[in-house]
Amino acid sequence: MDDFLTADQAARVLRLQVKRVQALARAGRLPATRIGRKWLFPRRQLEARLGPGAAARPRVQISGRNQLDGTVTGIGLGDVMAEVRARIGEQEVVSIITRSSVERLGLKIGDPVLVIVKATDVMLGRP
């Protein structure tokens, strides 16, 4: 039988807030079983979503709580700036950083990266 986690434990594994984990479970976007008022999450399936070795990677201690494991899917280098694309699950994010940062980090397509999101504005769109 699979090892199950509580919502608190799953939030720590996924590095998300508990309310967000519960909302994703309700929406069917995370594998989970509801028993009474409690959610249970299969550990192996959650860890598989993080990618190989993600559970063993140390977290960076910074003020941004939204730290997501991703994979570099594209790099566009300019003279001074660079566009780095990273896949997180089924989504892609784009980061504009300096070219020297790309070079210092030694980023290449296929590399695992930690995507850290800190924003003062969040916009929503509707089709």
The more confidently predicted of residues 112 and 49 is 112
The more confidently predicted of residues 57 and 34 is 34
DSSP-assigned letters across all residues of 59-80 = PP-SS--EEEEEEEEEEEE-SS
- Beta strand ranges found along the chain (DSSP E): 4-5, 33-35, 38-42, 66-77, 81-88, 91-98, 112-117
| pLDDT, tens only, 99-120 | 999 999 999 999 999 888 877 7
| CATH code, 66-117 | 2.40.50.100
Mean pLDDT of the region 13-33: 88
Q: Residue 56: pLDDT above 90? A: no
Q: Closest Cα to residue 115, out of 76, 71, 57?
A: 71
| pLDDT, tens only, 70-82 | 899 999 999 999 9
Q: What is the pLDDT of residue 57?
A: 58
Residue ranges covered by each domain of the chain = 4-50, 66-117
Q: What is the pLDDT of residue 53?
A: 59
Mean pLDDT of the region 11-16: 81
Q: Closest Cα to residue 40, out of 6, 2, 1, 14?
A: 6
pTM of the model: 0.52
Long-range contacts of 50-53 (CB under 8 A, 24+ apart): 50/13, 50/14, 51/112, 53/112
Q: How far apart are CA 85 and CA 93, in angstroms?
A: 6
The more confidently predicted of residues 51 and 77 is 77
